[in-house]
Amino acid sequence: MTNFRNAVVLSTALIFGMTGATFAQETATETETAVEAEAQAVETPTEGADAGAAEGNPTGLSLGEEAEQELAAGQLYIKEKVGDWEMRCVKVDGEGEEPCQMYQLMDDGAGSPVAEVSMFRLKDGGKAKAGATIVVPLETSLPQQLSITVDGGKARRYPYSFCNQVGCFARIGLTAEDVASFKRGNTATMTIVPALAQEQKVELTLSLTGFTAAYDKVSVVEP
């Protein structure tokens, strides 16, 4: 009887021992398989995951790509840059022509923006062949007006039209001679006077690099 119980215990132990060994072996196999699969996934990126893997990205991790921006009708955007001028256009529905102006931001020489100019051509504008909107900071002395010279030539003065929370605006007309001087010139200097320091003058440099090419691209508008 004792021998029978011993045999049963031994048999049971062998069964559980074999089952445990089998389970442990299966678990180890599954773990190794999962590790190998993960390693293979890192070493072998999926198709299209990263086209730059051979260009300094050996991990195979996707670095993404630039998404195209969807523009709504009426939205302002920069179409291109011509010299030191930006071509700013308004998106339109369909295949219609987009109105564009040439634009430049002027700084104080240290990188801080101070004023901006937008320019366009005029259709049947009489003596004014082109127009420009110039925005200067608030607290600019309005009676002193805005003066413009091209390459150190004779200055022309223009009044300010109005001011709002953005700044003070001068809406000026350019004659054929003015446009020609801008095309020939290298730089234009715009001079403004601070209201609180009228003994001082602030001179801003407007680059004329690319002016002719940009001017030929701007839209012709009704005066």
Taking the alpha carbons of 72, 76, 81, 87 in that order, is the dihedral positive or negative? positive
For residue 121, give the nearest of 173, 186, 67 by alpha carbon: 173
Overall fold of domain 76-221: Immunoglobulin-like (2.60.40)
Q: What is the mean pLDDT of residues 15-29?
A: 41
Residues 6+ apart with CB under 8 A from 128: 122, 173, 174, 175, 223
Quick one: average pLDDT of 122-131? 89
32 or 130, which is more confident: 130
Q: Provide the sign of the torsion angle of the four alpha carbons 202, 115, 160, 210, taken in this order.
A: positive
Element of type H or E holding 104? strand 100-107
Q: Considering only 42-51, 55-64, 121-130, 132-141, which range has the smallest mean pLDDT? A: 42-51
Q: Is 181 helix (H, G, I), strand (E, B) or coil?
A: helix
Separation CA 190–CA 196 (nearest Å)? 19
Residue 201 binned pLDDT confidence (cut-offs 50, 70, 90): very high
Q: Could you count the other beta carbons within 10 Å of the beta carbon of residue 81?
A: 12
**Long-range contacts of residues 155-163, Cβ cutoff 8 Å, at least 24 apart:** 155/191, 158/134, 160/136, 163/138
pLDDT band at 74 (very low <50, low <70, confident <90, very high): confident
* Domain residue spans of the chain: 1-65, 76-221
Q: What whole-number distance in Å separates Cα of residue 192 and Cα of residue 207?
A: 17
DSSP 107-122: E-SSS-EEEEEEEEEE
State the average pLDDT for the chain. Answer: 80
**166 to each of 62, 111, 115, 181, 198, how far by Cα in Å?**
42, 19, 11, 30, 21
Answer whether residue 80 shows pLDDT above 80. yes
Q: List the structure tokens of 155.
A: 């200055």
The residue-averaged pLDDT of 161-177 equals 96
**Nearest Cα to Cα of residue 179 among 148, 222, 145:** 148
Which positions ≥6 away from 84 have C-beta within 8 Å? Answer: 104, 207, 208, 209, 210
Better-predicted residue by pLDDT, 106 or 27: 106
Res. 17: pLDDT tops 80: no
Please determine, for residue 109, whether its predicted confidence score (pLDDT) is greater than 90. no
